[in-house]
Amino acid sequence: MNFGVRRSRISTDSQQATNVLKMFGAPVDLSFNDIGNLEDAWTEEPRSGLRPIKRTSESKYQSHCLRLNNNNIVELHGLQKTIKYFLAEPLQLAWLDLSFNKITHIDPILSELRELHVLYLHGNGIYIPSEVERLGVLPHLHTITLHGNIIEADKNYR
């Protein structure tokens, strides 16, 4: 089954993270915050990494990466507002990490992220293979992770 999305594998997550940093800068990291819905993220302060992220005069982050992994997110209602809340250039979001949440569907909102290059969805509960096709409209998407989802049991999902 061809989903219209090219998928590639990098040998290790650390290699992938290094490549992303070089291409898009340090991420706004909201991982491991027990976030249940995306508006809850607005009350969180992103983790500080080795490289501090510059902020604008409006306190928005000058980053093209957003990490929301290892939370309890079930649905992506409010994703656009959350991106706009944190990022100075929300339309330039290039890397989104939603891995290890409780997401069961690939929300159509993801297909509106036109500059997305990397999308991590592994370790969720996604189970409908045809929903992956929605991502085929993203012109720059070159990496998507789906391992660790129910969809993986479908022998034709790749």
Establish if 9 belongs to a structural domain. Answer: no
The average pLDDT across 124-141 equals 95
Establish if 12 belongs to a structural domain. Answer: no
> How far is 151 from 99, CA to CA, in rounded Å?
14
Structure tokens at 13: 């997550």
pLDDT in tens, 38-60: 999 999 999 988 888 999 999 99
Write down the pLDDT at residue 155. 77
Annotate 79-124 with DSSP letters as a single string: HHHHHHHHBSSGGG--EEE--SS---S--GGGGG-TT--EEE-TTS
| Residue 82 belongs to domain with CATH number | 3.80.10.10
Write down the pLDDT at residue 9. 44
Establish if 127 belongs to a structural domain. Answer: yes
Establish if 86 belongs to a structural domain. Answer: yes
Residue 130 DSSP SS3: helix
Number of domains in the chain: 1
Relative to beta strand 143-145, strand 95-97 is unpaired
The average pLDDT across 126-145 equals 95
